[in-house]
Amino acid sequence: MTVFRYDGGFEGFLCAVGDCLEAGEKQPEFVRDGDVYSSGLFAGDIHEVTTVRETALMLRKRFVNAVSQEAFATARYAFHSQKAGIELLVWRYLTLGLQVGRRVCLMLTEEPVHSVNLIARHVSHEAHKYKGFVRFREVETGFLYARIEPEADILAFIAPHFVGRVGDRRWMIHDLQRNQAALYDLKSWRLVKNIELTAEPTLSATEHDYAALWQRYFQRHAIAERHNPKLQQKHVPLRYRKHLPEFEPDNDSL
Amino acid sequence: MITLPLEQRLEILADSAKYDVSCSSSGSSRAGKAGTVGSTASSGICHTWTADGRCISLLKILLTNACIYDCAYCLNRRSNDISRAAFTSDEVADLTMNFYRRNYIEGLFLSTGVIRSANYTMEQLIAVARRLREVERFNGYIHLKLVPGADPLLIAQAGRYADRVSINIELPSRQSLALLAPDKPRESVINPMRQVSGLIVEAKEARTKSRRAPRFAPAGQSTQLIVGATPESDRDIITLTEGLYSKLELKRVYYSAYIPGSNDSRLPALPTPPLLREHRLYQADWLLRFYGFSAHELLDEARPNLDMRFDPKSDWALRHLELFPVEVNRVEYEVLLRVPGIGVRSAQRIVQARRGTRLGEVELKKLGVVLKRAKYFLTAGGRYLGGIRLDGPHLMERMLAPTRRPARLDQLELFAVMPDASALTGEL
Ligand code: SF4
């Protein structure tokens, strides 16, 4: 048994899978850099994975040719759930795909396909929700800043959407859970890791006004005769509300 | 009217717009362009949900709630004593851009009361849309209301700027319209719909020949019907809907439960809005659009109204027990869609998965198929999933058995207020 230690990113993981295939390892284990690895006595060899973009791309090509673009996307979504043990599951999915090819898509009720599909759906659903739930605030310099705390690591799935949408301003979507952010500089976006804000951003002069207008609009828009807070909560669970200005209690200070 | 502060006018003009139930931002797919703001997503995106559980996708406001007409069912009718307000087109553009940049919304849904004349009013709406597109370079979603009786030239112009246009029929029959909205003859609503339908087809054809051909309302047109203000049956409504989908190719028909708000003797005094009926109509509408049903299968002369106890698909199946059970491993996709409790997504998964494996109860559950109702109508590998075979009355009783939650709440939670995305996944 070999332990593959990789950088925690998806590219790195693909490289780990590549190394694993090359070594003919049938029972790999995956750990991320920085994870405390303490299997102690029974620990196998540790293999340090080097992330090389070309290697990752090659593996992707191999899998897409063998199975499909869609199945690869499924694996990618599932990986970003960052659930415990997800690497092993996705590794099994990828190797199965390379073995049986397109038939993977018909094995919906079998493992690991069933679990991977389920997790991938969950992540893609969360990413879709966040396309609606990201809230930018305008910082003094015209920069737009948003905070999110998603369950899965969804930045890579939503950033391209916002590039197409708010293409005329610099912006940052900050994942507080993971201390990382998607940063857009008017040309393209990139992922920045290990960030920490040293101070609260200074908001632009009109930011409060628009947030308050939005909140008024939001409150006025509900129809009293149809009042149904349970349904509302089903769609906007409490954990999302922290970063939604329309749910902030004290915005009404016009 | 413009003298009130902006925030008060926003409240008034959002208040007046909220009874238009359409919230969808779907049906248009346009990538962002460099230097511009905005894109559209074909499945639509909800940005938040209000306390009544409805999705907010667009900034839905009126340009003004002043109106020269006096439609009995409408809050903005001339004779109603409410505060009146108006926005300037600059204000609407500014709100739209600033809300949009902050990702509060997918775009703008602009409607209005009628001021001076139909044409003048239509011109005001177009001016806002033009300004957003040409000055602000706004590339997000715009839904424009068409003003009944507006000149065809103006309607043609509106569709150049808007993703979607709509004109509300409001009342399902000519008689009701004449009674409650005497200023709006049915033709003033139906003719623009016809015109739009033709222009949409033309523009689509032109665009297959040249990518440079101008778009016309690429997200199609929709309309709204008020339910419960007038005596029409569900059959009248659903038959009208079917015609709108098949003959005028509408993208959506919305139903709005009548909310009593006037002492007008021409209107019924309802204790509460008929929300369950509205919900059943949405379900029937879904069956027309995605499940291959036609109106006459659901309702006929002998049964002019939907059963409030069951969803219309269960109701249909209970009246056609001779067709069931069907074998889940073999039966055609179209028939699967007719099994109560099986939605489009489940049916698709079943068809895909059974090419690889033989499906039993365990596999169906793994696919996420909800068997609560479906099991009475299915066999898997020859085995009937419903336990003992039940005759019609017993089966009906079983399906009506109380669930954990009170039935009404259950149904309202299913209420279709999602954007069109859910139309593809909405399980019936
Ligand atoms: S024309 Fe429109 S806004 Fe005016 S009263 Fe009739 S429905 Fe209301």
Ligand 1 neighbours (beta carbon < 6 A)? B 67, 69, 71, 74, 76-77, 113-114, 181
Specify the higher pLDDT residue, B274 or B154: B154
Q: For the CA atoms of chain B, what is the radius of gyration?
A: 23
**B18 and B142 both lie in a single domain:** yes
B361, part of any domain: yes
ipTM of the complex: 0.89
Which of B35, B102, B275 has the CB atom closest to A136's CB atom? B102
- The domain of B398 spans 320-428
Distances (CA, A) of B205 to A186, B9, B19, B66, B159: 36, 42, 35, 39, 15
Specify the higher pLDDT residue, A233 or B418: A233
Which chain A residues are within 8 Å of B409, Cβ to Cβ? 230
User: Ligand 1 atom closest to Cα of B74?
Assistant: 8
- Ranges A131-140, A145-154, B36-45, B231-240: which has the least confidence: B36-45
Question: Measured at the alpha carbon of residue B236, what is the angle toward residues B234 and B241, in degrees to the nearest 5?
Answer: 90
Q: What is the CATH classification number for the domain harbouring B181? A: 3.20.20
Three-class SS state of B167: coil
Ligand 1, pocket-test mutation among B16, B21, B65, B71, most atoms within 8 A of CB: B71
On the question of pLDDT at B417 being above 60, the answer is no
- Ranges A27-31, A59-63, A79-83, B350-354: which has the least confidence: A27-31
pLDDT in tens, B86-138: 999 999 999 999 999 999 999 999 999 999 999 999 999 999 999 999 999 99
DSSP for A130-197 reads: HHHH---EEBTTS-EEEEE--SS--HHHHHHHHHHHBTTS-EEEEETTTTEEEEE-SS-EEEE-S---
Which one of A221, A242, A243 would you mutate to disrupt binding with B, by most B Cβ within 10 Å of its Cβ?
A221
pLDDT in tens, B56-87: 889 999 999 999 998 888 888 898 888 999 99
- What is the pLDDT, as a whole number, of residue A42? 52
Q: How confident is the model at residue A145 (pLDDT cuts 50, 70, 90)?
A: very high
Name the pTM for this structure: 0.87
Enter the DSSP assignment of B400: H
Which of B18, B36, B46 has the CB atom closest to A167's CB atom? B36
**B197 and B345 both lie in a single domain:** no
pLDDT in tens, A177-214: 899 999 998 888 999 988 888 888 888 889 899 999 99
On the question of pLDDT at B422 being above 50, the answer is no
Percent with pLDDT over 70 in chain B: 91
Distinct helix (H) and strand (E) counts, chain A = 9, 8
Which chain A residues are within 8 Å of B140, Cβ to Cβ? 165
**Under a CB-based contact definition with an 8 Å cutoff, are residues A144 and A137 in contact?**
yes
Give Dmax over CA atoms of chain A in angstroms. 66
For chain B, what is the domain count?
2
Distances (CA, A) of B286 to B41, B297, B323, B351, B383: 21, 14, 21, 21, 30
Q: What are phi and psi of A223, to 5 degrees?
A: -95, 120
pLDDT in tens, B180-226: 888 888 888 889 999 999 999 999 999 888 888 888 999 999 999 99
Last residue of a domain, one of B196, B220, B244: B220
B249, part of any domain: no
What average pLDDT does chain A have?
A: 87
Q: How confident is the model at residue A75 (pLDDT cuts 50, 70, 90)?
A: very high
B264, part of any domain: no
B185, part of any domain: yes
Which chain A residues are within 8 Å of B359, Cβ to Cβ? 109
Query: Mean pLDDT throughout A84-104?
Result: 90
Cis-peptide into B192, omega within 30 deg: no
Say if the Cβ atoms of A106 and B357 lie within 8 Å.
yes
Q: For the CA atoms of chain A, what is the radius of gyration?
A: 22
Last residue of a domain, one of B156, B191, B220: B220
A137 in reach of chain B (CB within 8 A) = yes
B368, part of any domain: yes
Last residue of a domain, one of B183, B198, B220: B220
